[in-house]
Amino acid sequence: MPNGHAAHHPSLQHHFDTLEQQKSSATFGMWVFLVTEVMFFGGMFLAYVLYRTWYPDAWVAASHHLDVTLGAFNTAVLMGEKVAPGATVPVPLTAPPSVPLPPSTAPAATLTAPVAADWSPFTSSVPPSTVVGPS
């Protein structure tokens, strides 16, 4: 392969030398992804448990300011947002999309107003000292 344009296996991507290198790179990439997910979500769940344990009164106070209807609407939009891109993928993946992809991103705009409405009473009426805890 002096010039890098020699024939290669059809499954081999252009930036790999061998199928073994390609497979090991994909495996390594998946493990890196999984480790970062565990670190991120582990930290988030740890923070949730700690703050829920340290400041139970703040959690109770904040829960009275949430709107269940808006929360249910947000959940429905988010679930629909996950289905929409799959619905736009044509059966033969080599054909052009039958429906343009931007309509599948429209739910993101749909969430902006309800999220703002859901959080505005919480952020404007609860003093920061009650949310974070005693100073």
Reported pTM? 0.49
pLDDT band at 75 (very low <50, low <70, confident <90, very high): confident
pLDDT confidence tier of residue 78, bands split at 50, 70 and 90: confident
Predicted local confidence at residue 29, as pLDDT: 93
Three-class secondary structure assignment of the chain = CCCCCCCCCCCCCCCCCCHHHHHHHHHHHHHHHHHHHHHHHHHHHHHHHHHHHHCHHHHHHHHCCCCHHHHHHHHHHHHHHHHHHHHHCCCCCCCCCCCCCHHHHHHHHHHHHHHHHHHHHHHHHCCHHHHHCCC
**Which is nearest to 52 in space by CA: 123, 126, 133?**
133
Domain boundaries, the chain: 17-54, 56-135
As given in the structure block, the two tokens for residue 115 are: 């999220």
Block residue for tokens 């505005």 = 120
Express each pLDDT in 95-121 by its tens digit: 555 555 555 556 666 766 666 666 665
When pLDDT is averaged across residues 74-86 and rounded to a whole number, the result is 76
pLDDT tens readout for residues 10-59: 877 777 888 888 889 889 999 999 999 999 999 999 999 999 999 999 98
Whole-number pLDDT of residue 39 = 95
Instruction: Count CA atoms within 13 Å of residue 83 on its CB side.
Output: 6
The pLDDT of residue 28 is 93
